[in-house]
């Protein structure tokens, strides 16, 4: 393998050091061998400076272009809301710097393709932060499937039903909530794009690409502009069938977070966002319950693969080419609501 950066260390610059960079991702860049966080940026200069001082980062900016052009930075992490992913990726690629982008990859499949094309043209790699591809509980599910423990896979079902929580849906009584995740112009498609993207990307990783999708989306509670309920059926390239339902306005008693993978000899049940437990169930045997400890910096295992890929020591399983498929699936599921 050839190195994809100059030098022997990945020197990260982060655009958008908000909440996700406090624990989940950025601190890991200081702990991984061959990796260093050298610069951060936020539009609010005081907050950018504060982050740099608290996390021991030598340089801070309030201008994304200045960070991208910093000669000490040789890789860019884009941690902004999705509406800025495409434009910033194009600028980073033009500067010849590899890009690691938060999920979902962008608001639309069209934007995703523009990002891929720009990185191909500049000959720089593009990675997406679908970190469940490297978490131990989800790696175990994949290995159980591949070992044939539950036989041939027949179908998969996803259920994600959540309540309206004022701490999540900020200022829900206002005409336009301040929470960017429920503004389609910023997020692409509400909580569905934010949360279901993790689930659908993982299914792509564990079971292969989805080739056919039907779905229906609606806004029943009318608390914000994004769709708040989605149902779908889909077919994988290998013939496995799937169904899913997502609703973000249920009563607490109806809350549910479960993926069920059904095979010819048993099934696997697991939450996506809850406790890291896996239930392997087969006829005439006791249910096997597997529990896992997740890393403190939840993105660290995936970021390690990015660093290794850039240094020519390994490969990263989450790229622009894999992530664009998830955007396409979500668009197909919701296209009746988000009409062009």
pLDDT digits (tens, 9 = 90+) for 282-312: 999 999 999 999 999 999 999 999 999 999 9
CB 67 within 8 A of CB 45: no
Pairing of strands 256-263, 153-161: antiparallel
Q: What is the dihedral of CA 99, 102, 106, 107, to 10 degrees?
A: -160
The DSSP code sequence of 222-238 is: -SSSS--EEEEEEEETT
CB 61 within 8 A of CB 67: yes
CB 29 within 8 A of CB 36: yes
Low-confidence spans in the chain with pLDDT less than 70: 166-178, 340
The DSSP code sequence of 171-203 is: TTTSSS-S-GGG-HHHHSSHHIIIIIHHHHHHH
pLDDT at 175: 46
Question: By CB neighbour count within 10 A (0-12 exposed, 13-18 middle, 19+ buried), where does 1 fall?
Answer: exposed
pLDDT at 7: 87
pLDDT at 179: 82
Sheet with 59-61, side-by-side order of all strands: 59-61, 35-41, 10-15, 75-78, 99-101, 126-128
pLDDT at 340: 53
pLDDT at 173: 46
Q: Comparing C-alpha atoms, which of 261, 240, 241, 37 is closest to residue 140?
A: 261
DSSP class of residue 286 equals P
Q: How far apart are CA 197 and CA 326, in angstroms?
A: 6
pLDDT at 339: 80
CB 74 within 8 A of CB 5: yes
- Helix ranges, the chain (H): 45-55, 64-69, 85-94, 109-122, 136-146, 184-187, 190-191, 197-207, 300-310, 320-334
Residue identified by tokens 């740099």 is 52
CB 46 within 8 A of CB 54: no
Q: How far apart are CA 46 and CA 70, in angstroms?
A: 19
Q: What sign for the dihedral angle of Cα 163, 169, 173, 175?
A: negative
The pTM of the full predicted model, rounded to 2 decimals, is: 0.95
Q: How far apart are CA 98 and CA 76, in angstroms?
A: 6
pLDDT at 332: 98
Radius of gyration from C-alpha coordinates of the chain: 20
Structural domains present in the chain: 10-131+299-317 (3.40.50.720), 136-293 (3.30.360.10)
């Amino acid at each position: 393998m050839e190195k994809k950066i100059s030098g022997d260390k990945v020197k990260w610059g982060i655009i958008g050091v908000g909440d996700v960079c406090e624990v989940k991702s950025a601190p890991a860049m200081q702990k991984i061998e061959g990796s260093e966080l050298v610069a951060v940026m936020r539009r609010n200069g005081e907050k950018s400076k504060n982050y740099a001082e608290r996390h021991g980062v030598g340089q801070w900016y309030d201008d994304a272009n200045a960070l991208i052009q910093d000669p000490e930075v040789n890789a860019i992490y884009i941690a902004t809301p999705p509406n800025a992913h495409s434009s910033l990726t194009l600028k980073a690629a033009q500067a010849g710097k590899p890009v690691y982008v938060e999920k979902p990859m962008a608001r639309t499949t069209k934007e995703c393709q523009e990002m891929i094309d720009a990185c191909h043209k500049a000959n720089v790699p593009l990675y997406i932060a679908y970190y469940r591809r490297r978490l131990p509980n989800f790696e175990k599910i994949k290995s159980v499937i591949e070992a044939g423990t539950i036989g041939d896979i027949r179908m998969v079902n996803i259920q994600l039903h959540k309540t309206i929580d004022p701490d999540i849906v900020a200022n829900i009584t206002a005409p336009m909530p301040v929470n960017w995740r429920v503004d389609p112009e910023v997020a692409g498609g509400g909580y569905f794009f934010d949360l279901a993207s993790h689930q659908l990307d993982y299914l792509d990783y564990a079971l292969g690409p989805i080739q056919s999708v039907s779905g229906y989306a609606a806004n029943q509670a009318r608390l914000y502009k994004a769709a708040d309920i989605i149902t779908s059926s889909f077919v994988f390239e290998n013939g496995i069938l799937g169904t899913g339902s997502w609703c973000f306005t249920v009563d607490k008693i109806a809350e549910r977070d479960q993926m069920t993978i059904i095979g010819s000899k048993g099934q696997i049940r697991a939450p996506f966002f809850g406790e890291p437990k896996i239930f392997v169930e087969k006829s005439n045997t006791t249910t096997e319950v597997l529990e896992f400890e997740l890393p403190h910096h939840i993105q660290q295992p995936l970021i390690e693969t990015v660093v290794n890929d850039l240094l020519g020591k390994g490969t990263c399983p989450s790229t622009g080419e894999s992530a664009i498929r998830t955007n396409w699936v979500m668009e197909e599921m919701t296209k009746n609501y988000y009409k062009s």
